[in-house]
Structure 1
Amino acid sequence: MLLLPDKFDENEWFIIISLIVTYWLIVKLPKRFPLTITLLILFFGMAYVQVIDHILAGSSFNTYDINDYGKFEWFDWIGWFIYPPFGYFFIYFFDKWSIRGIRLFGYIMGWSVIAMIVEWISLEFNMFKYYSWKFAYSYPVYLLTLCIYLLFFLYVNSTFQKLKALRKPVN
């Protein structure tokens, strides 16, 4: 059974406001991808975060807690929804700006810095409580995560384009 928050305070407000702002931005941005790809990007982000959080914050390593308890609570689950928009924006601007070559290296490094800033803000709102985890450990995790995210998008987009080409009628 999922627990309710210990008290409804800054970490719950941070999650709610983050959800509203980021999903509003996704809706307001010009459409860049078909709905199928957009949903795959968002679902991949959700699944990836769950796996990483389970490994790093779960019983195996227990390097940090999320929100009020060391146990799973409602706002841990709701909080998982704030991660997919970050990956969506990363992919959106990668595609929009046609990032290629050496610029890709800088792009991933820059977005990893942005991720660190977002994490720092979430720490200020008590979304995480670190035990053996150190803030500096997050940067290489973000580098790896964004590379995996990009590879996932490139695979999905390539597959989508191939399937789309197969469906075109030949005259």
Structure 2
Amino acid sequence: MKRRIMSFLLLFILLAPVFVSYFWLQYQKSMVKHEVKWRIIDGIDKDKLVVLKFSKSEFQKNLHWKHTKEFEYNFKMYDIVESMIIKDSVYYYCWYDNEETKLNHQLTELVSKAYNSNPLKNESQKKIYSFFKNLYFSNAFDWKMMPQKTEKRTKSIFLVSFTSINFPPPTPPPQFS
């Protein structure tokens, strides 16, 4: 029982920093979104906005939408303040959300560290896995007949007295009532 508690405690100690960091960054991200929303509602000067122009085809390929008023473009987050469609182009007046971009970068870095995206670490883990696999799950020995030599051998007394393990015992098993 004590061992089980210790194993759960050790597992918690190993996993807690990753989960706590992830949820803390998610909380900070939601706070930044809330703050940007209020800035947009209060009104932002036009000179502080970024104007992005996209064609219809580029618009569908390059933008990764988070929701109707927020998208990611070139790994940067933008909040839409105003949009205009002129002929075959779409103009977005956006607030470049630097804080959320940093938080997204930290989140992806945290997740990649948690899932061991480091190729050197992956290689060492593969070697350790291979070692333990060979240690515990070795291949069964392949019993092959020894090649027979063409020369004639004399029979030994040991060969005559040998009985195989596959034969049943000479007496029946005892009957218990």
Same fold (TM over 0.5): no
Q: TM-score, length-normalised on structure 2?
A: 0.25
The structure having more radius of gyration, on CA atoms, is 2
The structure with the greater share of residues assigned to helix is 1
